Amino acid sequence: MDDLQKEHHRLTGLFIEMCNTAAQETENPGLVAAALMTSAANYCSYVSTGNAGYLSEKGIDDLTERFRHNLQVLQDIKKEEHEKALAAAQASEAIKKD
């Protein structure tokens, strides 16, 4: 893992911690997720256009595609972890039966 990936991982962890705290405070994780997505959209728009600008339709499409890609990568990782855990549990059960 290079330095940029490490920093990305660290920042992601900070956001998750903040969301977990907010979810405990509000007892509404769906509201926290919606607020995070709105914040992310607002910040991405700012990074792309500054305070005075706004995203074109293509800019919106580009950001949407980046979000979709990141979501797909994350879900692929989660699926792989789930399948490994399931296989390990099945192997453990098979050993117990023997």
Per the CB < 8 A criterion, the answer to whether 9 and 1 are in contact is yes
Amino acid identity, position 8: H
**Total-model pTM:** 0.77
pLDDT tens readout for residues 36-80 = 999 999 999 999 999 888 999 999 999 999 999 999 999 999 999
The dihedral region occupied by 27, where left means phi > 0, alpha psi between -120 and 50, and beta the remainder, is left
- The DSSP code for 52 is S
H helices of the chain, where?
3-26, 29-49, 57-97
Q: Where do the domains of the chain lie?
A: 1-53, 55-98
**Per-residue pLDDT at 93:** 81
94 — pLDDT class (breaks 50, 70, 90) = confident
Instruction: Give pLDDT, residue 47.
Output: 93
> For 75-91, how does the pLDDT look when each residue is reduced to its tens digit (9 = 90+)?
999 999 999 999 988 88
